[in-house]
Amino acid sequence: MPGGATRTASFADTIGGWFRLIAMGLLVRFGFIGNTCLTTTRRTRRIPRRIEFFEGTLTSTDEIESVRIFDTTLRDGEQSPRTSFDYNDKRAIAELLDEMGTHVIEAGFPVNSEPEFEAVSDIAAATDATTCGLARVVEKDVQAAIDAGVDMVHVFVSTSDVQLQDSMHASREEAVDRAVTSVEQVRDAGLEVMFSPMDATRTNESFLVEVVEAVSEAGVDWINIPDTCGVGTPSRFAKLIALVDDHTDARIDVHTHDDFGLASANAMAGFEAGAHQAQVSVNGIGERAGNAAFEEVVMSAESLYNVDTGIDTTRITELAKLVEEKSTIPIPVNKAVVGDNAFAHESGIHAAGVMENTDTFEPGVMTPEMVGASREFVLGKHTGTHSVRKRLQELDYDPSDSEVRAVTKLVKEFGAEKEQVTDSVITRFAEEVGVSEAESEEVRV
């Protein structure tokens, strides 16, 4: 049908056109067309890039120079409702984060309790990563963090009017004074200091600039911009980061929440706008809907932006399972990167394509091997003959085409009843249909 074919082609062109426009818009917005970014030396990738984005029209993947990972699984992650980590949980998670090359581990809130203090203190002593302890802008909080032996103290104070009035019960002036005093207290102890104007995305812009300038003058090393209530959008958040960058010499870190599902997108927008580091939690756990996910930010940086984070990505699945177990927060099956379905295929067209070339219906730039996971072909209502033949051969059958079709019909009917098509089920179907068994090793696949 020529009319249909034409329509399909023009639709594809329209979509392609949109992507090109969006890509060009981003390049122009962040100033990557016609300036130095196109002439910088390209890194050697550990895994060769096989897929061209945007039909090859994207001229550069160098929007981000470097990505540092500040993991807050043990602090904000632990603040997930109905979750707590005991001493051994914290030690085990910190050990794996450290082995994987995480740059900063926020181990906890030392003033909180004696066991918390002990955990932070022992993690600081046992890891190579920079260990960070959280503190309110209160002398005893800061002192507890210093006494715990951390490398970095993260002090925070509310700066939005709603939090100053109805949470902190303090004036803007008090907030600035206490922020400066706490930054100085950490500096005097000779430790690295990070400051967070909490609820920055709902803070009056000129007041935010005032706070940033005050703590910068006090010698802060890092300014973290928290989207505490998750109201940021990528372009607005990027503008905010650029604004803060104009008013400080400190390095910028971002802390984004997932209330609208934009946490990781906002973190990446922060990097594009000049942030050096993002705060993330494994599986995205944390307050309310959680934080930007470790696995999403690391793999976006590695696979989509071509940045070598220095993180051992092949242990991401192991890390996700460990945090799932210790936090008792189940990973959703459709969770990006680490969900059970992240590299699973059921529908006939997708499964057949992936069997021929995995790049057909996977990102291509991210494989299960890169994150220590494995690919799965699930049999069910949407299954096609390719998956059924593959599974029968794995179970030592040598099916004819008509036998494959007969078993596929049974599988689809069974799957439509919301039943799991396990190996024992498919064996039963093979016997019902009378599929012959493989005769020798040679015909096995």
Applying CB under 5 A, which residues contact Mn ion? 76
Q: Which residues 6+ apart lie within 8 Å of 413 measured at CB? A: none
| Residue nearest Mn ion, CB atom distance | 76
Q: Residue 76 or residue 258: which is nearer to Mn ion going by CB? A: 76
Residue type, 173: E
* Alpha carbon 204 to its chain's center: 29
| Cα distances (angstroms) measured from residue 302 to each of 39, 72, 102, 281 | 20, 20, 14, 17
Least distance (Å) from Mn ion to the CB of residue 227? 9
Min separation Cβ 154 and Mn ion, Å: 11
Helices (H), 193-233: 205-217
- Asked if residues 120 and 110 have their Cβ atoms less than 8 Å apart, the reply is yes
Comparison of 107 and 307: residue with beta carbon closer to Mn ion: 107
Task: Spell out the residues 6+ positions from residue 204 whose beta carbon is closer than 8 angstroms to its own.
Answer: 160, 161
Residue (264 or 383) nearer to Mn ion, CB = 264
Q: Which is nearer to Mn ion, 27 or 268 (CB)?
A: 268
Q: Pick the closer one to Mn ion by CB: 202 or 345.
A: 202
Q: What is the 3-state secondary structure (H, E, C) of 328-376?
A: CCCCCCCCCCCCCCCCEECCHHHHHHHHHCHHHCCCCCCCCHHHCCCCE
User: At its nearest, how many Å lie between Mn ion and the CB of residue 119?
Assistant: 19
Shortest Å distance, C-beta 198 to Mn ion? 8
Q: Closer to Mn ion at the Cβ: 225 or 392?
A: 225
How far is Cα 156 from Cα 361, in angstroms, rounded to an integer? 44
Choose between 77 and 384: whose C-beta lies nearer to Mn ion: 77
Provide the token pair at 48. Answer: 């060769």
Question: Residues 6 or more apart from 220 whose CB is under 8 A from it?
Answer: 183, 193, 194, 195, 248, 250
CA distance 294 to 320: 9
Helices (H), 196-285: 205-217, 234-246, 263-272
In the bound complex, what is the minimum distance in angstroms from residue 135's beta carbon to Mn ion? 15
Residue 345 bridge partners (DSSP): 377
Residues facing residue 251 across a β-bridge: 222
Tell me if 307 sits within 8 A of 64, measured CB to CB.
Answer: yes
SS3 107: strand
Query: What's the min distance (Å) between Cβ of 13 and Mn ion?
Result: 43
From CA 411, how far away is CA 128, in angstroms rounded? 52
**Tokens, residue 344:** 């699973």
**Least separation in angstroms between CB 441 and Mn ion:** 56
Minimum Å gap between C-beta 1 and Mn ion is 54
Closest contact distance (angstroms) between CB of 77 and Mn ion is 9
Q: Yes or no: say if 207 and 167 are a contact pair by the CB < 8 Å rule.
A: no
Q: Which residues pair with 153 in a beta bridge?
A: 133, 193
Between 136 and 412, CB nearer to Mn ion: 136
Nearer of residues 110 and 415 to Mn ion, judged by Cβ: 110
The residue (of 75 and 412) whose beta carbon lies closer to Mn ion is 75
Q: Shortest distance, CB of residue 263 to Mn ion, whole angstroms?
A: 10
User: Of 76 and 346, which has the nearer Cβ to Mn ion?
Assistant: 76
Spatial distance between the Cα atoms of 28 and 21, rounded to a whole number of angstroms:
10
User: C-beta of 268: minimal distance to Mn ion in Å?
Assistant: 18
